[in-house]
Structures are given as structure tokens and as C-alpha cells.
Amino acid sequence: MLKDYLKGKGVSFVEKMVDLDDTAKEEMSSLSGGFLGVPFTLISLDDGRKESIIGFDQGKIDSLLNLSA
């Protein structure tokens, strides 16, 4: 659902499988407060800020990436 949405909007992304990648799992855990639910998105913005999103929050993704609905 999330991947399809990002692809549809032409947004490039790197997919990490947290159940297979311990480093990614630790990174996600530290960013999400220990919650390991997927999908989990980390968005690196041009100004250097990083924003994380638990689940699929289309509104927040659109807002952060300036995507039109």
C-alpha cells in the first residue's frame, strides 16, 4: 500500500526488511520508541531534518514531501 503509493507519486525510497536486518530493526526501534510495526517510514528532508511515520499516514507523507493529493 505504502510502496505502491510512493511509486505512484514517483518518490524514490530504500526498502529495509526489519525482520531480516537487525541493524535496520535497531534503527527503527530507536526512532519509533520501540514499536516495530510496519510499515514504518523515515523521511530525510532537504534541510537535513528526519521525520518518521508509523503506519501509512498519507496526509503526513504528502505534507512532508509536498505531494499533491
Partner 1 sequence: MSTRKVLLIFLALVVIISGVLLIRKSKNNKVILNLPEATPSIERLIKEKFQGLTIPDDSEKIELENVSGGEGIGIATRSQVIADLPSLQKGEKYQVFLGNGSKTILLGNLRELKGGYILEYDSSKYLGYNQIIIMRGSQHILEGSF
How far is the C-alpha of 65 from the C-alpha of 69, rounded, in Å? 11
Residue 33 binding partner 1, by CB under 8 A: yes
Position among 24, 38, 43, 64 found at the interface with partner 1 (CB under 8 A): 38
- Grid cell locating 53: 511515520
How far is the C-alpha of 6 from the C-alpha of 67, rounded, in Å? 10
The count of residues in the chain is 69
Position among 11, 36, 45, 65 found at the interface with partner 1 (CB under 8 A): 36
Query: Position 39: which residue type?
Result: P
CB of 54 to partner 1, least distance (A): 5
Residue 37 binding partner 1, by CB under 8 A: yes
- Interface residues toward partner 1, by CB under 8 A: 1, 19, 32-33, 35-39, 54-57, 59-60
